[in-house]
Structure 1
Amino acid sequence: MDELYGEFFRAMHQFRKLNVASILPDISQSEFAAMNEIMDKGEDGKITISELACKSKVHSSAISRTLHCLEEKGYIERSIDKNDRRNICVELTEEGKRVTTEARQIMCDYVKAVVEHLENRELERLIAYMNKIYSVAEKEIEARKWKDRKGKEHE
Structure 2
Amino acid sequence: MIEEEDNISGNDTHMKLVNLMSKFRKIKHMDKFVGIKKSEFIMLITVDCTIEKCGTATVSQISSKMEMTNAAASKTIGELENKGYLEKKINKEDKRQSYIELTLKGKEKLKFLKAERDNITKSIFDKLGKEDTDKLFELMEKIYEVAEEEINIRIQNRKNEEKE
Q: Do both proteins adopt the same fold according to a TM-score greater than 0.5, normalized to the shorter chain? A: yes
Corresponding residue number in structure 1 for 2:28: 19
Bigger-Rg structure (1/2): 2
Instruction: Kindly indicate whether the alpha-carbon contact (under 8 Å) linking 2:86 and 2:100 is maintained by their aligned counterparts in 1.
Output: yes
CA distance in 2 between partners of 1:133 and 1:83 (Å): 49
> Are residue 107 (structure 1) and residue 117 (structure 2) matched?
yes
1:78 to 88, 106, 130: 88
Corresponding residue number in structure 1 for 2:78: 68
Identity of aligned residues (%): 30
1:53 to 32, 55, 63: 63
What is the deviation of 1:33?
0.8
What is the aligned residue count? 144
Cα deviation code 1:39-62 (max 9, x no counterpart): 223267531111111222333322
Instruction: Kindly indicate whether the alpha-carbon contact (under 8 Å) linking 2:31 and 2:38 is maintained by their aligned counterparts in 1.
Output: no
* SS of residue paired to 2:89: strand
TM-score by length of 2: 0.69
Instruction: Kindly indicate whether the alpha-carbon contact (under 8 Å) linking 1:39 and 1:45 is maintained by their aligned counterparts in 2.
Output: no
Cα deviation code 1:6-35 (max 9, x no counterpart): 112211222111122234433221111111
Larger relative contact order, structure 1 or 2 (CA cutoff 8 Å, min sep 6): 1
Question: After TM superposition, which residue ranges in structure 1, 4 or more long, deviate above 6 angstroms?
Answer: 135-141
Corresponding residue number in structure 1 for 2:41: 32
Code of the residue aligned with 2:29 in structure 1: it is: V
Instruction: Kindly indicate whether the alpha-carbon contact (under 8 Å) linking 1:74 and 1:96 is maintained by their aligned counterparts in 2.
Output: yes
Code of the residue aligned with 1:76 in structure 2: it is: L
Instruction: Kindly indicate whether the alpha-carbon contact (under 8 Å) linking 1:24 and 1:106 is maintained by their aligned counterparts in 2.
Output: no
CA distance in 2 between partners of 1:67 and 1:132 (Å): 37
CA distance in 2 between partners of 1:24 and 1:108 (Å): 14
> Aligned pair in 2 of structure 1 residues 82, 135: CA closer, same or farther (>3 Å)?
farther
CA distance in 1 between partners of 2:76 and 2:12 (Å): 38
Instruction: Kindly indicate whether the alpha-carbon contact (under 8 Å) linking 1:53 and 1:60 is maintained by their aligned counterparts in 2.
Output: yes
Deviates more, 1:10-19 or 1:85-94: 85-94
Q: How well do the aligned residues superpose, as a CA RMSD in angstroms?
A: 3.2
CA distance in 1 between partners of 2:113 and 2:15 (Å): 34
> Aligned pair in 2 of structure 1 residues 135, 36: CA closer, same or farther (>3 Å)?
farther
